Amino acid sequence: MKRVIRAMSLLPLAAGAQASTWLPAVAATTRADRVDAHFLFLLLLTGSVFFLVLFAVDLLLFANLRKAPDQVGDNRPNSVWHAALVGLVALVVAVLLFGAGARAYLDQQVAPIGTQQIDVTVGEAGQWEFHYPGEVTTDTLHIAVEQPTRLVLHADSEPVTLVVPAFRLREVALPGVPAATWIDAREPGRHFIVGERARAAGTAGLQSWAVVHEADGFTTWLASQTDILLSMPPVEAGRVLVERNGCLACHSVDGSKLTGPSFLGVVGRQETLTDGTTVVVDADYIRRSILEPAGQVVAGFPPIMPSFQGKIRDAEIDAIFQYFQSISDARETR
Ligand code: HEC
């Protein structure tokens, strides 16, 4: 089962956050600055051309008003050079604008080398899911300040749009066509995320937060998510560890005998070993079984269990023991 770390308590704040009819209040990435500069330049250019043209039309109109009843039009030849010059200036401006836009666009497609990647999907319940290295999944986006982060948006059955106004980011993924971009946040903070799905009504589920951590804050955060001992109670962590380490390929938790003995009721069980001795299963025995399985082999089973020495830490073995104990207790009370 997939485990998504939730932070829903943040959401009520999201409703009116950073709403603005002008540019979003925060420009949190270099990309945001660039987009804003481009936008303002275009606005100034089109605005000034608009007023210049209005002004010129007025000027010509007034200058050429008929001044006497018998005045007739003046038939000036059109100047080709004049028209060509205006055309040329417009062409140069258009090419420069296109060039700057294309460069910014291409820069956004190609992330710097060594960029950490976060995959973005929409979960079954219609909420964002951000997938980090190490199989960590959250419903809020976490990135480190000043560290380029690549975002790859995936859509499975319908087009999805991811929008982070403070990053000036808007990505659309089509089913089978992921959209990739990258961001570099300038300072720690928290920014509103919205999204849209083609067929779903409303965007309620796709509201979330982008959390920008201090550089080491992010590492600590990721470690705390990866280290499940810090993020869940031991019994639960033990269950996840048994799942993650592939123990269930050989051991059942329902009492049935697979390649190895079932974990159900294992704690306190008396086992006969291949050398004829008997042991009562306790924490130490379980530790030895995991680290040196060949040392004590349960009679009737092949000695094929691999050692997990160096793969499972002591604290994790404790959690696994507590999980075993919980399913052993559950059996006793049945
Ligand atoms: C490839 C199959 C296999 C895998 C994977 C495996 N085991 Fe085992 N395990 C066995 C077999 C077979 C035995 C019985 C023989 C023995 O004692 O070595 C056993 C025995 C044990 C015992 C002693 C059980 C008893 O009733 O005395 C424990 C505890 C145990 N395994 C825990 C684990 C844990 C925890 C994992 C995962 C981290 C794991 N095993 C992964 C095959 C496996």
Q: Are residues 277 and 324 in the same domain?
A: yes
**CATH classification at residue 133:** 2.60.40.420
- Region 40-68: mean pLDDT is 90
Q: How many domains does the chain have?
A: 2
Q: What are the backbone dihedrals phi and psi of residue 276, each rounded to the nearest 5 degrees, phi first? A: 90, -15
pLDDT band of 1, cuts 50, 70, 90: very low
Q: Are residues 259 and 317 in the same domain?
A: yes
pLDDT in tens, 170-191: 999 999 999 999 998 988 999 9
The more confident residue out of 89 and 156 is 89
Could you tell which of 240, 244, 251 is best to mutate to test the pocket of ligand 1, judged by most ligand atoms within 8 Å of the CB? 251
Q: What are the backbone dihedrals phi and psi of residue 67, each rounded to the nearest 5 degrees, phi first? A: -100, -25
Interior/surface letters 280-305, b for 16+ CB within 10 angstroms, e for the rest: ebeeebbbebbbebeebbbeebeeeb
Q: Is 302 in the pocket of ligand 1 (CB under 6 A)?
A: yes
pLDDT reported for residue 252: 93
pLDDT reported for residue 322: 95
Boundary-marking domain end, from 226, 261, 288: 226
Cα-to-centroid distance, 290 and ligand 1 (Å): 7
Q: What strand order describes the sheet that includes 149-153?
A: 136-138, 128-132, 116-122, 149-153, 179-183
**Which residue puts its alpha carbon closest to atom 11 of ligand 1?**
260
Residue 320 lies in domain:
232-332
Cα-to-centroid distance, 146 and ligand 1 (Å): 46
- Region 12-40: mean pLDDT is 71
pLDDT reported for residue 197: 86
**Which residue puts its alpha carbon closest to atom 39 of ligand 1?**
247
- Which residues does residue 163 pair with via DSSP β-bridges, in sequence order? 170, 194
**Which residue puts its alpha carbon closest to atom 36 of ligand 1?**
247
Is residue 63 a part of any domain in this protein? Answer: no
Number of residues that make up the chain: 334
Locate 268 and state its tokens: 């306190």
Q: Is 80 in the pocket of ligand 1 (CB under 6 A)?
A: no
Share of the chain above pLDDT 70, in %: 90
pLDDT band of 201, cuts 50, 70, 90: low
pLDDT band of 2, cuts 50, 70, 90: very low
pLDDT at 261 over 50: yes
